[in-house]
Amino acid sequence: MSCAFSGVRAGLVCVFAVLTCTGLVCTAATPAQAAAAKAKLVATPATADLGNLEAGAKKVVNFTLENQGGAEAKKVACKGSGFAFDKKGLTIAAGGKEAIAATYTAAKAAPAKAKALSGKITCGGAVVTFKGSLQPKAAAAPAAKPAETKPEPKADAKPEGKPAESAGTKAKNAPDKVSLKECQATKPPVAFAHKEHIAENKLACDTCHHTQKGLKAGSDTPVKKCASCHLNPTDKAPSCKEKSAAKNPYHIRCIGCHKEKGDEKAPTKCAGCHKG
């Protein structure tokens, strides 16, 4: 503290400062220096797009917390309605960084019409704003066409690489591998391991064929072609012509599921699926 007189009757004017002492020597820190000694968390990126979510769907948001202050940040906890965080009670040193994965779970009940989603994630002063939309309940699948009179070829006689979603193909005749090439633009087609996902990973058919709830492998039900809705979409259906992760249905389903699974064998980068 330093004081100075200002006139006989003006009294004593005092300026307070933070003292830092080493041994018997004390120095006064300026207000700017005192502020710099505090922790200051900044989130990168500061915004996130959840995209178009169906009821009960999950979406992972990744961001990094950086401590730009002069002191460590202790017991950092992240909060956000609808989010679950992979890390809690963090201690981040001055100048340090910490990667955070936040998983958003959409409401289980689908709205009558698309509902906008917005809000923010807070982590000890750092803020990430997010937006997206909750999609209405999908329309009922059209009635199945009568079975053709000509005999169906045997499953083991079907060549590999023929799309399982071609018109008239029954679920029981799905091949082991599928070439996803209807929506290719600048990337090679994707060789999708159909049998591995269904038989080995126990993935339900209607996880991908979401307009055919209850679709079972080995049944006589004709499988609806994905591109019938997503290649030239009407209304607000995501288009597979879009390359962004938030607008391409394959990216939304595949990459989102792979990130949620957290398996190193499940690719999340372009080259992991688009090979060739």
Q: Give the model's pLDDT for residue 192.
A: 84
Q: Give the model's pLDDT for residue 141.
A: 62
**Percent helix, strand and coil across the chain, each rounded to 5?**
15, 30, 55
Q: Give the model's pLDDT for residue 197.
A: 84
Whether the CB-CB separation of 18 and 35 falls below 8 Å is answered with no
Q: pLDDT band at 49, cuts 50/70/90?
A: very high
Which domains, ranges and CATH numbers included, belong to the chain? 2-30 (no CATH), 41-134 (2.60.40.10), 157-273 (3.90.10)
Report which of residues 18 and 61 the model is more confident about.
61
Nearest-5° Cα angle at 210, 207 to 274: 65
Q: Give the model's pLDDT for residue 217.
A: 81
Pick the most confident of 110-119, 215-224, 259-268. 110-119
CA 176 to chain centre: 29
Tokens 């948001």 belong to: 61
Report which of residues 33 and 115 the model is more confident about.
115
Find residue 100's DSSP bridge partners. Answer: 63
Backbone angles phi, psi at 238, to 5 degrees: -60, 145
Q: pLDDT band at 36, cuts 50/70/90?
A: low
pLDDT, average across residues 198-220: 83
Segment among 68-72, 91-95, 134-138 with least mean pLDDT: 134-138
Residue 7 has pLDDT above 90, yes or no: no
pTM for this prediction: 0.42
Report which of residues 255 and 12 the model is more confident about.
255
Residue 209 has pLDDT above 60, yes or no: yes
Q: pLDDT band at 254, cuts 50/70/90?
A: confident
Whether the CB-CB separation of 72 and 39 falls below 8 Å is answered with yes
- Start-to-end C-alpha separation, the chain: 72
Residue 9 has pLDDT above 60, yes or no: no
Q: Give the model's pLDDT for residue 203.
A: 82
Find residue 19's DSSP bridge partners. Answer: 28
Q: pLDDT band at 90, cuts 50/70/90?
A: very high
Residue 82 has pLDDT above 80, yes or no: yes
